[in-house]
Amino acid sequence: DIQLTQSPSFLSASVGDRVAITCRASQGISSYLAWYQQKPGKAPKLLIYTASTLQSGVPSRFSGSGSGTEFTLTISSLQPEDFATYYCQHLNSYPYTFGQGTKLEIK
Amino acid sequence: EVQLLESGGGLVQPGGSLRLSCAASGFTFSSYAMTWVRQAPGEGLEWVSLISGSDGSTHYADSVKGRFTISRDNSKNTLYLQMNSLRAEDTAVYYCAKVEMGLVTDAGFDYWGQGTLVTVSS
């Protein structure tokens, strides 16, 4: 099975900051990676698919990059509503595993 | 508007069974793969199972293989998850989600239900 490792696991930042979250796959997954945002008590929300395609309705301050084994989710200018937990997920082959999550907190 | 509404969660004893349902609306249900994802209290997301829209093929996480069965009734626009031989470690919020199709493979899970809590405890 393909394992995904996110870093960092916790991130403290301020409104207006630019932040990046990394997701590393245990083997190559081409561009078959998605990113999700989850707020407490809510279902996850798809932000980006195929590594860099922004889901409809997602603000352009979110962007994704990478291929193969290393991927990055970047938020260009943090807004108050962006403080949440972020997960990567691969869809290269079954099982479709998720990373362990990155909790983004307000500094 | 796409809507997914899970039901069937609750308290069950270890070794017991439960069937979750997910009623879908707002899209052509039979055309899309559907999936279940769970989240144990305070933990991350765990993919559980997926069923294709085209041929009904199914896939499972190793942690539930042989105990859980995913199915769908396209005439009722409903997804199911039959859970048998439940264990304490199956305690989680279970989400159903619609699978977005990509050009080559699945692209992601673009719509999610609100989740239903399953608690396995004596």
How would you classify residue B8: left for phi > 0, otherwise alpha for psi between -120 and 50, otherwise beta?
left
Compute the CA torsion angle A104, B3, B6, B7 (nearest 10 deg): 140
Instruction: Tell me the three state secondary structure of residue B7.
Output: strand
pLDDT value, residue B105: 82
For chain A, which ranges sit under pLDDT 70? none
Proportion of chain A in helix, strand, coil states, percent, rounded to 5 = 5, 50, 50
Residue B86 has pLDDT above 80, yes or no: yes
Give pLDDT, residue B55: 86
Q: Determine the Cα–Cα distance for residues B30 and A14; give it in Å rounded to an integer.
A: 44
**Interface size, chain A vs chain B, as Cβ–Cβ contacts under 8 Å:** 69
Cα dist from B64 to A54, A70, A95, B50, whole Å:
32, 29, 11, 12
What is the distance between the alpha carbons of residues B104 and A102, in angstroms, rounded to a whole number?
28
Average pLDDT, chain B: 96
Most B CBs within 10 A among A21, A36, A46, A103, hence the mutation to make, goes to A46
Query: Would you state the pLDDT for residue A3?
Result: 97
Tens-digit pLDDT profile for residues B6-59: 999 999 999 999 999 999 999 999 999 999 999 999 999 999 999 998 788 999
Q: Are residues B109 and A34, on separate chains, in Cβ contact within 8 Å?
A: yes
Q: How much is the average pLDDT of B60-87?
A: 97
For residue A92, give Cα distances in angstroms to A2, A71, B3, B30, B98: 9, 14, 27, 23, 17
Do residue A96 and residue B107 have CB atoms under 8 angstroms apart?
Answer: no
Query: For the segment B45-68, what is each residue's pLDDT rounded down to a tens digit?
Result: 999 999 998 788 999 999 999 999
Q: Which pLDDT score is estimated for B52?
A: 94
Report pLDDT for A58.
98
pLDDT for res B106: 87
pLDDT the model gives residue A24: 98
What does the pLDDT read at residue B102? 81
